[in-house]
Amino acid sequence: MQNSKKIFNIRVIPRARVNSVATDADGTLRVHTTTAPTDGKANDAVIRALAEYMHIPKSSVRIIRGQTSHNKTIEIL
């Protein structure tokens, strides 16, 4: 079996009114989270939101670039 990984860019909007995931015109996923970006809590919320949006386990989603940035690179295993 081949190890298939998908890597893509997302834009995170912390302290949003509601949690949601949307796609921009250029194909970038925009993840809105109500969580504040302190102590990595927003990153955890982003992982949960993407896992739920894609119907995959949270352990399959990993932030590989942009831990402290609004722009992040995500890897899906």
pTM: 0.87
CB 51 within 8 A of CB 63: no
DSSP H helix total and E strand total for the chain: 1, 5
Q: Which domain holds residue 36?
A: 6-76
Residue 26 lies in a domain: yes
Closest to 70 (Cα-Cα) out of 37, 45, 34: 37
Residue 30 lies in a domain: yes
SS3 44: helix
Residue 1 lies in a domain: no
- Mean pLDDT, the chain, whole residue set: 91
pLDDT band at 2 (very low <50, low <70, confident <90, very high): low
Per-residue pLDDT at 34: 94
Q: What is the CATH number of the domain that holds 13?
A: 3.30.1200.10
Per-residue pLDDT at 4: 79
Residue 15 lies in a domain: yes
Question: What is the tally of structural domains in the chain?
Answer: 1
Per-residue pLDDT at 1: 45
Q: Tell me the sheet residues that pair with 9.
A: 73
pLDDT of 22-38, one tens digit each? 998 888 889 999 999 88
